[in-house]
A and B are shown apart, each in its own frame.
Chain A
């Protein structure tokens, strides 16, 4: 009899829990075949696991690949909206793809939690859409963060910047702005384009030699990192700092001695010393058996966590009630505090992070160390570096 009562209570307890639980289906639309997309998905899954483990909210994910191209992403979003019937979508990593999604998003009206898409063109495309929550900083935030670092370098004696930029959208988009802003700071600038992946930089670097740059600033992709580091030494350029701005650094670059003293910018590193970051690293290692350097992983995690909080506060699966609660969310994250405000241009209503999340790091003795701003630095910047 006693056993029966215990079982009955347990069943009632579980039933009560189920009744109190709010369940939401969330579409995840990411380029899962890319490193950043996969990292973002891992982060979202980790965040959702934690939310679901809390017991009050149950998030069910429907994951689809956006193929990193509009031709795949548009039908994929349509499927999420009309077949899987989700009301909330996490996605929007690449700017071009996200822009292409703006039409169908406005047609189906989901709550759209945008993980990347830094281009201001996207900001403009979603300017009249009230259910758009953009977590990642905009491109003007990225420029502001980099320029702050260059101002610091200028104060420390740097005067000439040689910019090596890839000729695609990534490298060319902000080049005129960068150039102008650096000149405004007092720098003399010389800039040359290159073809990413070509592996051959000696001609440009030799031309730069007569310019005697203090900073060699390259804007390209991971494949360019090692050839540039190697050929800078080969031609005897001897800048005081090699500063790179790829979307992702090559795997294992830190293990190569050529990486030493190379600097760059990221939104997050596993060595970032805040409670949320440490917690994220521990949980990520537990679930996936490794530590990631990709900041898209904690970005996905933050989105899932903030969504969980909003659903819990809304106590409803209604997307508008969730959006209203999400707008009020204030939480600590691996990047620092998160809350939503109108974007700096006023075009979108819910902007999460700004330039304050960016930090400058340097490859030092085989790992990336935060070196700027001083408040987040784990080590002093080695300037001049040895190349």
Chain B
């Protein structure tokens, strides 16, 4: 929790730090890193119930499109909330139909949902279809750091939601559901309701992140907004950082985006090879993610 707080504090004060000529670039990169980390935290919430979702890219995209379409009429903050709400509502419908499924079956259902959403957005006229959709900047571009602080706010909300859930009684219900649904039912845990509520919260957060993303990139296309790559990113980061934790996805997201950016700048062509090798090595030697390093140190201190 301490580390999460420090990271959020750093995010807040980053624009004021003496970054010199690297300031604008660092803030741009950080903004995207915060949004991806927020998405990863949202994905991890559902993972705590034992469900593997490939729909988080679609929730991110739905939030992005809904926010982009409603921003001209409603303004930035209400539009972002609408984005989150649309994503949450769609997850509710999807969850009602699929959350009785488990493991791979649920993952496949969520993958199909992503494809359906992408196709619908692709075919609809009001979304700009395949041509894409121009998006207004946050607050009409009136505040240069408006988008940045929105990204910080999304990250803070995702972190707070993750921390609150992990410290509530609900956490036990989620863990029991993950460890064995049958046993959880016997213990009186309303398994489907727990999964559905977690899914809805998780999708809301993903939609919120998507809305801010849209206001940063200023343009949405179905392939970018609903790309499977984003769904994969959402699950790779918690695995890299440490599943079922708050600091894991948070730290993992920041490290992965920073690492990718650094490699791209330093190596140029072929940076993906190095990036891939680093990820594989981390998963091989730290199967419980970066957080296992902290756990080991803590364990060593207690020994």
Q: Is the CB of B222 within 8 A of A70?
A: no
Q: Is the CB of A82 within 8 A of B24?
A: yes
Q: Out of A78, A121, A168, A172, which one reaches B134, CB within 8 Å?
A: A121
Within 8 A of B (CB), among A32-51: 32-33, 38
Q: Is the CB of B269 within 8 A of A33?
A: yes
In the assembled complex, how far is the CB of residue A138 from the closest CB belonging to chain B, in whole angstroms? Answer: 13
Within 8 A of A (CB), among B86-142: 119, 122, 129-132, 134, 137
Contacts of B261 in A (CB 8 A): 72, 75
In the assembled complex, how far is the CB of residue B40 from the closest CB belonging to chain A, in whole angstroms? Answer: 14
Give the contact-size bracket for chain B.
Answer: 20 to 34
Contacts of B148 in A (CB 8 A): none
Contacts of A169 in B (CB 8 A): 122, 130-132, 221-223
Q: Is the CB of B134 within 8 A of A99?
A: yes
Contacts of A74 in B (CB 8 A): 28, 32, 216-217
Contacts of B218 in A (CB 8 A): 70, 99-100, 102-103
Q: Is the CB of B130 within 8 A of A168?
A: yes
Q: Is the CB of A75 within 8 A of B131?
A: no
Bound-complex Cα distance A32 to B267 (A) = 12
Q: Is the CB of A83 within 8 A of B25?
A: yes
Q: Is the CB of A125 within 8 A of B134?
A: yes
Q: Is the CB of B23 within 8 A of A82?
A: yes
Q: Is the CB of B264 within 8 A of A172?
A: no
Residue of B nearest to A169 (CB): B130
Bound-complex Cα distance A100 to B224 (A) = 12
Known A71-B32, A74-B28; judge A121-B131 contact (CB<8 A): yes
A69 within 8 A of B: yes
- The B interface, classified by DSSP as helix, strand, loop or mixed, is helix
Contacts of B130 in A (CB 8 A): 168-173
Q: Is the CB of B264 within 8 A of A103?
A: no
Contacts of A172 in B (CB 8 A): 122, 129-130
Contacts of B179 in A (CB 8 A): none
Q: Out of A71, A81, A96, A167, which one reaches B122, CB within 8 Å?
A: A167
Bound-complex Cα distance A41 to B177 (A) = 53
Q: Is the CB of A75 within 8 A of B28?
A: yes
Best-surrounded residue of A95, A100, A172 (most CB of chain B within 10 A): A100
Q: Out of A38, A69, A78, A168, which one reaches B24, CB within 8 Å?
A: A78
Residue of A nearest to B115 (CB): A195
A222 within 8 A of B: no
Within 8 A of A (CB), among B9-36: 21-25, 28-29, 32, 36
Known A79-B25, A96-B224; judge A63-B264 contact (CB<8 A): no
Bound-complex Cα distance A249 to B22 (A) = 40
Bound-complex Cα distance A70 to B32 (A) = 10
Q: Is the CB of B21 within 8 A of A167?
A: no
Residue of A nearest to B21 (CB): A83
Contacts of B272 in A (CB 8 A): 33
A65 within 8 A of B: yes
In the assembled complex, how far is the CB of residue B60 from the closest CB belonging to chain A, in whole angstroms? Answer: 12
Residue of A nearest to B31 (CB): A75
In the assembled complex, how far is the CB of residue B64 from the closest CB belonging to chain A, in whole angstroms? Answer: 11
Contacts of A65 in B (CB 8 A): 264, 268-269, 271
B149 within 8 A of A: no
Within 8 A of A (CB), among B178-227: 213, 216-219, 221-224
Q: Out of A32, A67, A70, A95, which one reaches B217, CB within 8 Å?
A: A70
Contacts of B2 in A (CB 8 A): none
Known A69-B224, A71-B217, A72-B264; judge A121-B132 contact (CB<8 A): yes
In the assembled complex, how far is the CB of residue B267 from the closest CB belonging to chain A, in whole angstroms? Answer: 10
Q: Out of A33, A64, A75, A81, which one reaches B29, CB within 8 Å?
A: A75
Bound-complex Cα distance A167 to B218 (A) = 23
Bound-complex Cα distance A33 to B223 (A) = 18
Binary contact track A72-93/B, C-beta < 8 Å → 1, others 0: 1011101101110100000000
Contacts of A69 in B (CB 8 A): 224
Chain B residues at the A interface, C-beta cutoff of 8 Å: 21-25, 28-29, 32, 36, 119, 122, 129-132, 134, 137, 213, 216-219, 221-224, 261, 264-265, 268-269, 271-272
User: Could you write out 18 A-B pairs with CB less than 8 Å apart?
Assistant: A32-B269, A71-B36, A71-B213, A72-B261, A74-B217, A79-B25, A83-B22, A96-B132, A99-B219, A100-B217, A102-B218, A125-B134, A167-B119, A167-B122, A169-B131, A169-B132, A169-B221, A169-B223
The 9 closest A-B pairs by CB, nearest first: A169-B130, A70-B217, A75-B28, A99-B219, A79-B25, A172-B130, A82-B24, A96-B221, A75-B29
